[in-house]
A and B are shown apart, each in its own frame.
Chain A
């Protein structure tokens, strides 16, 4: 009995490693997945799937090269899949819900002002691929990782990012 209960609190080094990676990347992956217009709950489920897949991947002794790129790539693919099964209507509803202003106090709203509104409008109007590139870059990924996750060339990533930044800069300056 005593031995058995000791086992209850015991986790393998691999389990601990995956939990550490989970702590490192969960929020970044969730933010990225919310960009797909998925509800938070779906995002959490996908993140669980990602790390269980990572656990299995490492347990089989497969490649440990660039695990950050790996988890984002798996999350990206699962996010696309989930959105396809959810259908357009539900996703659109989630999008609309996500865009409801949490209504901070009026002074804060005023201070944030029109500049941020314009920026948000431009962000939402960007082509989907450009939004993905920006979101991945914002989560700290390098161009080569973004290219791999989204199946683009390095040059296309660079053009996409600079084009988006230029558009947003115009929106802020206007």
Chain B
């Protein structure tokens, strides 16, 4: 069967039709005509290939640019899960759910195992030693700020710890030279929740990656800040829970025994 494509033989397809064809967006009747023309016309096929090549280049440039900026999904996924659980619990007609939810949080917190773990934030040598803060050296320290003051900063950023203070922390923990390279000095109570630039609030975190790592702690900090700034959690309680045992705190505030992981 031969299509009546004489008019298509006369004039080449324009970019719009070629793009529609490449995207599979032509109407069925038009599609047959365009296909027939492309079979016959090398010029149009070459142009279609050029446009498709541009699609490839565009997608490559876009992914190269954007993908490294995307943080891992585990923290945001856990946050979404916790928020949906809250909405479910708060739903009218299910008051018992709210109670159970609270009880569950307490139960999880009570059962919390003292776990360990740390920080794959930066690439570093994998060390066997896994650190937890020493409560005597790093009990946590805060600045005198109210929740209003803490929440007034719209997008708090984690400050870098000044180098001399970092050295002090390493010394205090008995880490020196090569050993110290396997660690990063970080805040126990994040400055986003009123944590102080004080040696009592700083500890060396091993870069070793375990389940309970830096990103998990970051998502807990985000969650606590959110609750504090919504007036649903006392700032002092948030600071205490973070410094006493952040892993238990995570389990408590995310209503889970394990951090959410990437699928």
Query: How distant is the Cα of A9 from the Cα of B23 in the complex, in angstroms?
Result: 44
Query: How distant is the Cα of A27 from the Cα of B263 in the complex, in angstroms?
Result: 14
| Cβ–Cβ < 8 Å partners of A9 in chain B | 256-257
Kindly supply a per-residue 1/0 record for chain A positions 44-83, scoring 1 wherever the CB is within 8 Å of any chain B CB and 0 otherwise: 1001100110011001000000000000000000000000
| Cβ–Cβ < 8 Å partners of B61 in chain A | 116, 119-120, 123
Most buried by A among B18, B54, B85, B257: B54
Q: Is the CB of A166 within 8 A of B15?
A: yes
Q: Is the CB of A40 within 8 A of B69?
A: yes
Q: Is the CB of B66 within 8 A of A34?
A: yes
B100 at interface by CB-CB < 8 Å? yes
Q: From residue 53 to 86 of chain B, which have CB atoms closer than 8 A to chain A?
A: 53-55, 57-59, 61-62, 65-71, 73, 76-77, 79-81, 83-85
Question: Which of B103-111, B121-129, B141-149, B233-241 has 4 or more CB atoms under 8 Å from chain A?
Answer: B103-111
Tell me which of B19, B70, B73, B100 contacts A165 (CB under 8 A). B19
Number of interface residues of A (CB under 8 A): 54
| Cβ–Cβ < 8 Å partners of B108 in chain A | 5, 8
Say whether, besides A5-B104, A22-B77, A162-B18, A52 and B87 are in contact (CB < 8 Å).
Answer: yes
B155 at interface by CB-CB < 8 Å? yes
Q: Is the CB of A12 within 8 A of B62?
A: no
B179 at interface by CB-CB < 8 Å? no
B50 at interface by CB-CB < 8 Å? yes
Q: Is the CB of B15 within 8 A of A162?
A: yes
A26 at interface by CB-CB < 8 Å? yes
Say whether, besides A22-B77, A158-B25, A30 and B58 are in contact (CB < 8 Å).
Answer: no
Q: Is the CB of A158 within 8 A of B69?
A: no
**Can you list 30 residue pairs at the A/B interface with Cβ under 8 Å?**
A1-B103, A4-B103, A8-B256, A12-B88, A15-B81, A18-B80, A22-B73, A23-B77, A26-B73, A27-B73, A31-B62, A40-B69, A44-B76, A48-B83, A51-B80, A52-B84, A102-B68, A119-B61, A138-B62, A158-B25, A159-B16, A162-B14, A162-B19, A163-B15, A165-B19, A165-B51, A166-B51, A168-B54, A168-B58, A172-B54
Chain B residues proximal to chain A, CB less than 8 Å? 14-16, 18-20, 23, 25, 50-51, 53-55, 57-59, 61-62, 65-71, 73, 76-77, 79-81, 83-85, 87-88, 100-101, 103-108, 111, 155, 255-257, 263
